Chain A
Amino acid sequence: MKEYVKRGDLVILIGVLVLSGLLYVPLLFSRGGTVAEVLSDGEVVERIDLDSVNEPYTIKIRGSVILVEPGKIGYLESDCPNGECVRFGMLSRAGAAAACVPNRTMIRILSANREKDGPDAVTY
């Protein structure tokens, strides 16, 4: 075994593991997000307040079926050749995202500080 794994390899392995761990940190601190957005071709087509969802329901968009539950959202089924989007599971954390790349759709949960920071304009 020793000839196959060299010292430098271990350094790289540990380095990547540490990097991955570091990138995980913001995820640990993110709480459940409130607002989810469904995007198609980069444009927001639905904005959902996950906290005010009482009954689970589904959204059909471009061949995929998205399931919306209280506090959670995720791809349920999809007709895309990958089927990867479904494997993301249900998202609930702020900042989380899932995408169906072939259909160019995406779900994301907005991070907390994007919420209400003031109106775009005031009319008087």
Chain B
Amino acid sequence: MAEKRYRTVLLAVSIVLLMTFGVFSGCRKEESAEFTGFSMDTVISVKLYGGNSPDSVLQDVSGIFTETEQVLSRHIESSPVSALNRGETVAGEKWFITLLSKNLYLSEETDGLFDPTVGPLIDLWSIGSGNEKVPSEEALADALSHVSYERVHVSSENITIEPGTVLDLGASGKGAVLDRVRDFLCGTDTKGAVVSAGGSILLYGSKNGSRDFTVAVRLPDGGTSDYLGVLTLQETCVSTSGSYERYFTEDGVRYHHILSPESGFPAETGLVSVTVVYPDGTMSDLLSTAVFLLGEEEGLKLLYGHQAEGVLVTEDGRVIVTEGLKDRFRLTEEGYTLEVYEGIR
């Protein structure tokens, strides 16, 4: 008799378990893991959805950030970039060589209006250090004389730069790490991710069954939760360059951190912020800086040539979106007018 009871209970319990399992397997609220930290001189935030071990994937992603910083940082003496800037020949990893190649390619494409060898300029202005002042003409001329992307030589295995040249990859570092993270995630069972590296965003996969993500564009000169508008996007990367991010003021004039390799001064092209949407993170980062440096007309042509999408904000309150974002951008702030750029006819 006891045996019968046991069997009965076993049967009842297994039914209940089966039903609970059934209900929960249907639920689409996925496992997710989050992480916010500081790396590569900026705030990092990672959100992962789905997969069996999001926490371990999170750790690996964090490792990728650290590793990338070890390669790109000019503050780290042992980094390949620092070694290059000292005149050494460096055998680079594949991703590093690709990164440099993209930088050089864009420099050629813009005839040097964008240039990654602006190290001397950046050091001269040292915006963000606290004791900035406008440099003298001679100092500027001297720094400019060392700026030339043609002095960087990249082969399929190693890189050298001519003496006096100083590389600064700040305009593409964040985008590059996003590409590395995305490539890593592809090899995991993670279903979706949202990664933010200092305002450059990686959108990957899907979240809770939906492939749409929302990315807000911060209002120039606004606080952290003040938005200009919201983009609805699927898997891609987003980068923004703005004159409001880092600057100092002297005698009532604002000097921002996006320095022109031509004039040596902060670029004055009538733009306040440029947001670029492009599947390749490195390129989205590079293009956002390049478009800012080129200005509205040439910048939009550059985007069109790359089939990239973007949102430009001008000093006179106009918000220009490329055609592909026409139905994907919602302007939420008042006082701006929306225009659509329809490409070269």
Contacts and interface: CB of A to CB of B under 8 A. Distances in A.
Interface of A: 37, 39, 42-44, 47, 119-124
Given A44-B209, A119-B216, A121-B213, 10 more contacts: A37-B210, A42-B28, A44-B210, A47-B210, A120-B203, A121-B45, A123-B201, A123-B218, A123-B240, A124-B242
B68 interface: no
B230 to A, nearest CB: 6
Contacts of B206: 43
Query: By DSSP majority rule, is chain A's interface helix, strand, loop, or mixed?
Result: strand
A123 B194 contact: no
B265 interface: no
Contact of A121 (B196, B209, B211, B224): B196
B199 A42 contact: no
B240 A120 contact: no
A47 B234 CA distance: 14
13 contacts: A37-B210, A43-B211, A47-B210, A119-B215, A119-B230, A120-B207, A120-B214, A121-B213, A122-B215, A122-B224, A122-B227, A123-B200, A123-B201
Contacts of A120: 47, 194, 203, 207, 213-215
A121 B210 contact: no
Contacts of B215: 119-123
B143 interface: no
Interface range on chain B (Cβ under 8 Å from partner): 20 to 34
A21 B238 CA distance: 49
Nearest to A41: B209
Contact of B211 (A42, A44, A119, A124): A44
A120 B195 CA distance: 9
Interface string B39-62: 000000101000000000000000
Given A42-B28, A42-B209, A43-B206, A119 B240 contact: no
Contacts of A47: 210, 212
B218 A122 contact: yes
Interface string B185-202: 000000000101001110
A122 B239 CA distance: 10
A42 B27 CA distance: 10
B8 to A, nearest CB: 17
B199 A122 contact: yes
A120 B199 CA distance: 12
